[in-house]
Structure 1
Amino acid sequence: MHTDSIVSTHNLSKRYNNVWRVHKVNLYVKQGEIYGFLGPNGAGKSTSLKMLLGLTKPTDGRVTIFGRELHSHRSSILSQIGSLIESPSYYGHLTGLENMRVMQRLRGVPDANIKEALQIVRLEDQKHKKVEQYSLGMKQRLGVAMALLAFPKLLVLDEPTNGLDPAGIGEIRELIKSLPGRYGMTVLLSSHLLSEIDQMATSVGIINDGELLFQGKMEVLRAKGQSSISMKTLDNSAAEKLLLTRGYMPMNRKGRLHFEKLNDEQISHANQIIVESGIPVVRIEEHQKSLEDIFLELTGKERSL
């Protein structure tokens, strides 16, 4: 278990009707980072987050937050966490401010927190309007304000941009990105939108069918998208045999020779070898894997975001 993690799980598992919805998941979330929990709908994201918050009891495994096990220190741990799971909970017949005051009594925080939280999500001018009259984006921002009310050490957000228009998505994205720097918060958010995680997260965990497939820094994931070179000649078989004798390791597939980790000088040299042997080179292309390509490789081509 990582001792520098603010959140860690050990073999966290949940079974429903003899089906593992989450199976032996080991999450490590470090202080001050934005951790993106990425996966298709139904992958096990919400179930995992509910177990982190004590809303669902694990079938197996354990949860450690702030260095203490959740089952032994539930109240003190949860008092330092803000969360928005699945969709905001609010009273539609009350105003935004009145909803915040209800949460204030539950969290025991001063009036100044309400004012600041509403300012952060830019709802201070709409606080006297009934929530049933709010747009979807405003309701989502109110849910985030409620989660921020106690200015927690850890903020857990489940699909915070779900159902929002592009402008609303941008607002929530910029808000989340500002929280670690402005308030020292650690943010754990789930999403099925790869583009959103790419633009917000510093670390990522990819889950599919309840299994954690990748976990690490975003730059490590992006590094998996290193470029490759493909070369098409008029006799790929002969070119492949020739290059193998000269120390190159091309893969002959789909009518092209594919090379990994070649620099410009090596590409030029390989081309020269083939041309000087009398085999015409028709095309040389560079291919860069996108994050979507990497995700599909990890989860299988039949599943996508």
Structure 2
Amino acid sequence: MSASAIVQTQNLTKTYGGINRVHRVDLRVEEGEIYGFLGPNGAGKTTVLKMLLGLIKPSSGTIQMFGESLSRHRTSILKRTGSLIESPSFYGHLTGLENMRVMQRLRNVPDSNVHEALRIVRLENHKHKKAEQYSLGMKQRLGIAMALLAFPRLLILDEPTNGLDPAGIGEIRELIQSLPGRYGMTILLSSHLLSEIEQIATSVGIISEGNLLFQGSMASLREKSGPSILLATGNNAKAERLLLAQGYRPIQSGSRLEFGQLEDTDVAALNRLLVSHDIPVTRIEERRRNLEDMFLDLTGKERSL
């Protein structure tokens, strides 16, 4: 395992009823980054996060966190990890501060942590209000405050903006973005919203039907979603054979041949080559794919389900 990797899994698999809900996932989260774990609902995101926290046991595969095996050092690892999975858990009849006190006793942290965590999530002026009277956004922030209480090295957040209005989403996004720089935390958060991951994450993993389809920096994902050239001819099959023989790598895309990013001189050379072999070129066009197109191509699903 790399010294800079906070989380690393190998062939992580979870099977229910003979069906792989998570299949051979090799997750890698580097220290200090905001890792966006992106996928449609039901893709396996929460199952992976629960396995990282020891809430469910993998069917096979290994998990290492902070360079240690989760199966052998779970208690030590969880002391350095904070989490909010699915939805916040709190006592509605208690105030925000009283809920924090309950968690304080469980985590054995000083009073200063309680007040600092409430300040970070901007609940210090609402700490004496009962949690059942909190808005959805305030409840979400209370859940994050509980996860922050021990000021962990790793913070795992499962759909932290789920159900929030645009203003609430903006608040949570701003909060998460501030944590690595201010407190040296590494953030692993899941979402089914491409727009949220695109705005907040430095690295991304895309999962669909339990399979990790892409993992890398946001910059590398944007490069993969760069422009391509689409070519239509009077005989695509003949054109493809000729171009393959000449070292090109066209891909069938419906009724057209698709190429990666090409310079104008390369496009002109393609056209001359085809015409010189009596293959009429009927259309040449550039297609610019955004990250949404890339996500759709990878998962075959809508960007928000």
Range of TM-score over shorter length: 0.7 to 0.9
Taking structure 2 as the reference length, what is the TM-score of the superposition? 0.87
Question: What is the CA-CA distance between 1:303 and the residue it aligns to?
Answer: 8.6
Distance 1:6 1:257, change over 3 A: closer
What is the Cα deviation at residue 12 of structure 1?
1.4
Indicate the larger mover: 34-43 or 287-296. 287-296
Match of 1:72, SS?
helix
* 1:20, distance to aligned residue in structure 2 (A): 1.6
Identity score, percent: 68
Give matches, 1:194-233, under 5 Å. Answer: 194-230=194-230
Distance 1:212 1:112, change over 3 A: same
Deviation at 1:249, TM superposition (A): 7.3
> Quick one: distance in 1 between partners of 2:241 and 2:48?
51
Greater displacement, 229-238 / 158-167: 229-238
C-alpha distance in structure 1 between counterparts of 2:20 and 2:250, whole Å: 41
What is the match of residue 51 of structure 1?
Answer: 51
Q: Retained in 1: the 8 A contact 2:194–2:304?
A: no
1:7-43 deviation line (CA, Å, top 9, x unaligned): 1112211112222211211111110011111111111
- The question of whether the paired residues in 2 share the 8 Å contact of 1:46 and 1:85 is answered with yes
Given that 2:107 and 2:150 are in contact with CA atoms closer than 8 Å, whether structure 1 keeps it comes out as yes
Q: Following superposition of structure 1 onto structure 2, how do residues 84-95 of structure 1 map, counting pairs within 5 Å?
A: 84-95=84-95
Report the more deviating stretch, 223-232 or 162-171. 223-232
CA distance in 2, matches of 1:200, 1:260: 28
Q: 1:132 to 1:9 in 2, by over 3 A?
A: same
Match of 1:15 in 2: 15
Instruction: Quote the offset at 1:270 in angstroms.
Output: 6.5
Q: Write the distance in 1 (CA, Å) between the matches of 2:138 and 2:121.
A: 9
Distance of 1:23 and 1:234 partners within structure 2: 43
Distance 1:285 1:48, change over 3 A: same
- Matched ranges for 1:112-191 at <5 A: 112-191=112-191
Q: Match of 1:98? A: 98
Bigger drift between 211-220 and 231-240 goes to 231-240
Contact 1:296–1:304, Cα closer than 8 Å, also in 2: no
- CA distance in 2 between counterparts of 1:140 and 1:217 reads 27
Hey, what's the Cα distance between the residues in 1 that align with 2:24 and 2:51? 13
2:214 is paired with a residue whose SS is: strand
Decide whether the 8 Å contact of 2:81 with 2:155 is kept in 1: yes
Superposition deviation, residue 264 in structure 1: 3.6
1:33-64 Cα shifts (integer Å, max 9, x gaps): 11111111111111111111111111212211
One-letter code aligned to 1:286: E
Of stretches 176-185 and 245-254 in structure 1, the one that deviates more from structure 2 is: 245-254
2:182 and 2:197 map into 1 onto residues whose CA distance is 20
Q: 1:287: which partner in 2?
A: 287
Q: Deviations over 1:96-129 (max 9, x none)?
A: 1111111111111111111111111111111111
Q: Secondary structure at the match of 2:196?
A: helix
8 A Cα contact 2:233 2:281, kept in partner: yes
Q: In the TM superposition, what is the alpha-carbon distance from 1:147 to its structure 2 partner?
A: 0.4
* Structure 1: unaligned runs, 5 residues or longer: none
